[in-house]
Structure 1
Amino acid sequence: MNPPPEPVPSHQPVAVRAALEAMATRFEILLYGEQPSALRAAAEEALAEVERLEARLSFYRPDSEITRLNQHGATGPVRLLPEVWTLLHRAVSLARATGGAFDITVAPLMEAWGFTGGPGHRPDPATLQAARERVGVQHLELDRPNWSARFLRPGMRIDLGGIGKGYAIEQAVEILRDAGITSALLHGGTSTAFGLGTPPDAEAWQVAIDPPPELRQPQAPPLAVVNLRDRALSVSAVWGKAFTDEEGQHGHVIDPRTGRPASDAVLAAVVTRSPTDADALSTALLVLGEPGLEQLSRLWPDLRGLVLSRREGNWHIRTHGLEPHPAYQTIVKSL
């Protein structure tokens, strides 16, 4: 009896999806390839990396490296894992490059405004001033030979919420590349995404940027559709976690320089090579507003960006290398 013939590979790409709840959001991966088992194994390893990083970087987990630094950093140097120290060093460089518009030491201000584990509230002037005095990367000392960090002012704390998702996606992408994956789309909470290679039968991954709630009329198109090919997209916005008082609505993105919620823009989107940089720079751009687009594009030549703002009841879009949907062309200004 002859053995059955070997199946002939179809060479048709198959899709595998995987997801994980981590960093207070949902991470999802879509991969294409020819071997489903290899795709699933790569996706699981990439998501396991996200989970591992959450355990080290979380502001809320009592056993994380960040919590340990926040608890003991004001009393002396705290030795950190080299990976965590290196991310802090990168974050400090980003803070300096953005003139403090992005700053991982913003945690005291987040707490003062009630956004740490709460819906937000206006702080009294004394509380706000005390928090402002504990913010600024110039008060964070990093010691490379000892892989240590310490705070130069008591009451300082760091929060990697503005960079952690991007870093986790960046490391997950490296896992996929090491596994030989050449076609994948990853996102964390839909706010930061990375397109690895291209999807089947397309030149790039297409990711939509949603307009703010006020512009989401029935049948309203996305604000823009971004093509990603080995590029990251990150979007920051003032809606989501916010509160309203007699002075209006206040979002959870705080300007570390003024101590107040960002108000110069409603939405900021950044495309660049690094998910880590994109995550931090979209936060910085939301704080900086329209002038920040030119400032950041000088420092990151590959950067593409978009800023949506509202002044005196009128909407404005400032762009650099990103094309808004034609429906919004009447409010567009190019850099």
Structure 2
Amino acid sequence: MPEVRLACYAMATRFELILVGEDEVYLRAAGEEALREITRIEELLSIYRPTSELARVNRMAAERAVYVVPEVFSLLKAAKRLSLLTSGAFDMTIGPLVRLWRTCGEVKRMPSETEIEETRAAVGMQLVELDEEAGTVRFLRPGVSLDPGAIGKGYAVDIAVRRLRENGITCALLHGGSSTVYALGTPKGDSGWRVALRDPNGTEQAVVAVAELRDAALSVSAPHGRWFEVDGRRYGHVIEPSSGRPIEGVQLAATVTEFAMEGDAISTALLVLGSAASPQLLQEPLGIYSALLIEMTKEQRRIYLFGSHFSETQTEIPLERMPIFS
């Protein structure tokens, strides 16, 4: 059966799309339309584009209520709900803390307690006021800002998949930056799309688990990739909102969910909460099908599995045989 592969660059990452069907020309047209939706979402959400909806909010919402288009308002409503259900572990206002640690990391120093506490005062979705009747957003104090980093890719993937469905596509795999994946349908003769998760302790091809997906999203969060070192100790880029400090101990969190946006937020929350608080989170009405969590203690590494979509493995899989994500 014909297979079409397409890609685009948006949100500082590469999105790749595989479509399977009878009509190669139609597959390509439908795929290109779906990828255009991703670039449209970037224009709405990018905080680095002065004309985007979120950039306008960040500039003005501390001074007055700012109107946003209904699509962005709905996204912010969802973000507040997800923050509440994860007890603040997912937080779209985490940006000031991320910037503080990044700035200190560039000069190889730790932020002071005063710097952390002053910055934390401007973090928390309770500081974002949404007026549904007016369609406006307002910050309740100066210094608050919104960052779509942990939710934007997932939302873009969801919108692109919706467009694929509207155009009659029944079999496709879409991923953004190897951390957000949606599997639509399944290839003929298979029970699902099989996606490998890279072992954070292994080689480039070492795999810790394989997810089997059908009409579901896979989201993977990990602190590795971006980090800095001070006095011989490494610190990752994922910040715990309640303490204002980088997370420690958790190496990887992955979820299989109904929608990619929720999956991205929940995998981030699992990374922050760790195994102690995760069981309660997994019982929340968040559309979680399965979850995987890897923690490293001084004594050993522990792998926690929830649901049936992940199968644990300790092997090396050639890259051409299966997509490997981390």
| TM-score, scaled to structure 1 | 0.89
Change (3 A) 1:156 1:304: same
Moved more, 201-210 or 284-293: 284-293
> Are 2:212 and 1:227 equivalent residues in the alignment?
yes
> Are 2:237 and 1:216 equivalent residues in the alignment?
no
What secondary structure is seen at the aligned counterpart in 2 of 1:157? coil
Match of 1:154 among 142, 156, 162: 142
What displacement does 1:194 show?
0.5
Partner of 1:103: 91
What displacement does 1:216 show?
2.4
Partner of 1:6: none
Tell me the C-alpha RMSD between the 2 structures.
2.0
Aligned length: 313
What displacement does 1:119 show?
9.7
d(CA) in 2 for partners of 1:166 and 1:116?
29
Partner of 1:318: 304
Match of 2:263 among 272, 278, 283: 278
**Letter matched to residue 120 of structure 2:** R
> Are 2:239 and 1:254 equivalent residues in the alignment?
yes
What secondary structure is seen at the aligned counterpart in 2 of 1:161? helix
Matches within 5 A, 1:5-20: 13-20=1-8
Partner of 1:305: 291
Partner of 1:236: 221
> Are 2:192 and 1:204 equivalent residues in the alignment?
yes
- Larger CA Rg, structure 1 vs 2: 1
Match of 2:102 among 107, 114, 132: 114
Structure 1 stretches of 5 or more lacking a match?
Answer: 1-12, 329-335
What displacement does 1:246 show?
2.0
What secondary structure is seen at the aligned counterpart in 1 of 2:312? coil
Partner of 2:80: 92
What displacement does 1:292 show?
3.6
What displacement does 1:290 show?
1.0
What displacement does 1:291 show?
2.4
Change (3 A) 1:116 1:177: farther
Partner of 1:332: none
Partner of 2:281: 296
Partner of 2:156: 168
d(CA) in 1 for partners of 2:147 and 2:185?
32
d(CA) in 2 for partners of 1:293 and 1:106?
20
Partner of 1:35: 23
The answer to whether the 8 Å contact 1:114/1:121 transfers is no
**Letter matched to residue 281 of structure 1:** I
**Letter matched to residue 227 of structure 1:** E
Change (3 A) 1:80 1:119: farther
The answer to whether the 8 Å contact 1:186/1:195 transfers is yes
d(CA) in 1 for partners of 2:109 and 2:246?
11
Change (3 A) 1:63 1:122: farther
The answer to whether the 8 Å contact 1:31/1:185 transfers is yes
Change (3 A) 1:216 1:43: same
Per chain length, whose mean CA-contact separation is higher, i.e. which structure has more relative contact order (CA < 8 Å, sep 6+)?
2
Partner of 2:114: 126
Partner of 2:63: 75
What secondary structure is seen at the aligned counterpart in 2 of 1:105? coil
Change (3 A) 1:120 1:261: farther
The answer to whether the 8 Å contact 1:119/1:243 transfers is no
Structure 2 stretches of 5 or more lacking a match?
Answer: 317-326
What displacement does 1:215 show?
2.5
Question: How many percent identity over aligned positions?
Answer: 45
Change (3 A) 1:137 1:24: same
Moved more, 114-123 or 314-323: 114-123
d(CA) in 2 for partners of 1:276 and 1:253?
18
Matches within 5 A, 1:43-54: 43-54=31-42
| TM-score, scaled to structure 2 | 0.92
The answer to whether the 8 Å contact 1:264/1:287 transfers is no
d(CA) in 2 for partners of 1:24 and 1:195?
22
The answer to whether the 8 Å contact 2:17/2:174 transfers is yes
